[in-house]
Structure 1
Amino acid sequence: MHKTFYEYLMTQRNPDSTESVAEFANNAFLDHAFPKQSQDFHEVSQYLELNAGYLPSMTIFDDAWQLYLASEA
């Protein structure tokens, strides 16, 4: 069974890191409305574009998604 994007993202959490994907993960952890069960790029992307003021650039999401795909390969 494949991980959801959120499950993968939580493996990247690190409160002491200033790396962009780790900061994204830390903030997504605090976002109770994050689509935690999704494996769909468009669903997560649309949610973030409309609701994630904590994400300074969608490029960070794109980078995290590529890491997610690589982890599932």
Structure 2
Amino acid sequence: MHQSFYLFALKFRGGQKNDAKAQFAEHMFLQHDFPKAETSFQEISEYIEELAHPEMTAIVFDEIWGLYEDHIR
């Protein structure tokens, strides 16, 4: 079983305030309803579009997702 996107993205927490990936990860961590066990692009993408904090943009999600895909291959 692959590591969830949530667990992968948490590694970006604690970065610089001007680092979009760090800010995304911090807001993701603070959203208690984030789908923590999910590995599906579609499910997480829908969450980002519909329920996520405004700082959790689709552009940054796509960037982190690309890194996630490389990681799980």
Instruction: Decide: shared fold, TM above 0.5.
Output: yes
CA RMSD, aligned part only? Answer: 1.5
Question: What is the 5 A alignment of 1:19-58?
Answer: 19-55=19-55, 57-58=57-58
The residue that corresponds to 2:8 in the other structure is 8
What SS does the corresponding residue of 2:39 show, helix, strand or coil?
coil
What's the CA shift for 1:36?
0.3
For 2:15 and 2:31, how far apart are their aligned partners in 1? 15
- 1:20-60 deviation line (CA, Å, top 9, x unaligned): 11110011000000000100000000011011133353111
For structure 1, list consecutive stretches of 5 or more residues without a partner in the other structure. none
Query: What percent of counterpart residues are identical?
Result: 34
4+ residue runs over 4 A deviation: none
TM-score by length of 2: 0.88
Say how many residue pairs are matched.
Answer: 73
Give the TM-score normalised by the residue count of structure 1. 0.88
